[in-house]
Structure 1
Amino acid sequence: MPGTRIRLAVLTCSGPAARSGPLAAQWLLDEADKYGQFDVEVVDLTAAQLPVVITRPPGAEAVERLAAVSPALAAADAFIVVTPEYNHGYPAVLKSAIDWHTTEWHAKPVGFVSYGGRSGGLRAVEQLRLVFAELHAVTLRDGIGFAQVWDQFDEAGAPKDPAGCAGAAKVMFDQLTWWALALGEARDKRPYTG
């Protein structure tokens, strides 16, 4: 459906005082804006401070904190997770946000922008693929990883390889758009019951 806008939730999980995470996230948001197909909502998981102990039903404090996150996830047609890698994994704040939600992820695509040391966060992404498969989400094959992230951005906060980064973003956005439209049409015709 040409011209259809996609509601994209971008999940970030490093605080504003962090050096690399905000640079990677801002770069992604700028590229998404240039792509022109998305209505973007940033979901700042560090600001939400979701409880790490999952309860069903959630307690009063959890309900209050979830109100800052859940509506954006439910309304999204697609997701991009911007994540660091710590000790070969992803941060607890991200796991908490994922685990508090179930149907919000169903039959929707998830892309990844990762960053870290030598691996560029790819080990964190591989773990996230398993988690999102359990939640009936479709993870994209191609993502973006910033290896040795502290060397990837200049003093103005722009990638040192702008053409390579923009090309990688376009590949991921093209895949995300295809999956978001295809899965959205399928959910409209036949609601997903997972």
Structure 2
Amino acid sequence: MTKSFAFFWALALLFLTTTVSYAQKADQHKYWLGVGLGKSQYHSGMIALGYEFVNKPTLLIARYTDNRELNSKNAPGIIAQEFALMYGIRTGKFRFSTGVSNVWGINRGTYLGPIDEPVLYGEHLYKSVRYSTVGLPAEVRFITSTKDVGIGLTAFGNLNAKRSFVGLNLSLYVGKMK
């Protein structure tokens, strides 16, 4: 009984005098929101939300892209919009990703005739053709940043059945970058 009692108190004294400590993780979750402007076949705008996993070189990206013809002498103007979900890898300041997307927009259909005076203005009216399709998006991002703000260049594209496109955007990023 005395041995059990002494063992119990030695164990209790050990627990009371030692502290349990946890090391902080060297890596933390990274996430960012990027807004950019650029050029594809037409003018382009992009909004992207990214999440980079802890202790892994992988990332998830949700991207909205709007490519449209501005100041066209033809109506309707061509539009290609996209919402993409992508998975990729991070290596240094580069991010490579691909996934699946929904692409929708407006194409020109059959020619309907001139708008106003065709000789002076050269404006033409076409039938508006709306479309929606599934696409294969891909991108390469280069991001340089401080802890909370960054700037980057994105080469992006989408392969689909209706209106495939490629482009380049300059983007501003905010979030937990490092």
TM-score (normalizing by structure 1)? 0.26
Give the structure with higher Rg (CA): 2
Higher relative contact order (CA 8 A, sep 6+): 1
Going by fraction, where is strand more abundant, 1 or 2? 2
TM-score (normalizing by structure 2)? 0.27
Going by fraction, where is helix more abundant, 1 or 2? 1
